[in-house]
Amino acid sequence: MTSPRSLIIGTTLALWAPLALQAAAPADPVVGSWVLNVGKSKFGSKPVPTNQIRTYTETPDGLEVIVKGESADGESDVFESTFKYDGKDYPASGSPDFDTIAVRSINPYVSSAILKRGHRVVGHLMRVESKDGLKLTVSERLRGPKGEVLHEALVYDRQP
């Protein structure tokens, strides 16, 4: 026969176990700040930035990315989006090329995204983090507002 104390302990463990596992889940390895390595990056027809910092932060609404940079002509750029790895469209602000992003995780170090402008697919993005967590490569291929095809491979170094 089961004692009332055993029943209470068992019920408590059953209720708290999923929460404990969720709390123990490792953070997304991309979380943190990344500095653009201009020398290792390949730029398409967009102006080459003089600097750029890409910051990922986990929030209750998903993974937030903020990209702040400055172009060669001194213009400041800020891109922002908060998304989940569920393939659904999420708003993206600060890019003249797309206004939503839909992201899927391929594995903990690789994700892919579909970029849309006005509900129309205009490009794809692939984000790959090195296994040692020190390098991040973001490859983007999209059709610009004037119909031109843009391709970039941006390389970032983890900021301590």
Q: What is the mean pLDDT of residues 68-80?
A: 89
Give me the pLDDT at residue 12, please: 43
The band of 151, judged by pLDDT with boundaries at 50, 70 and 90, is very high
- pLDDT for 1 equals 55
Mention the CATH class of domain 4-158: mainly beta
Give the Cα separation of 69 and 51 in Å (integer). 5
Residue 34 has pLDDT above 70, yes or no: yes
pTM reported for the whole predicted model: 0.81
Average pLDDT, the chain: 86
Cβ(78)–Cβ(85) below 8 Å: no
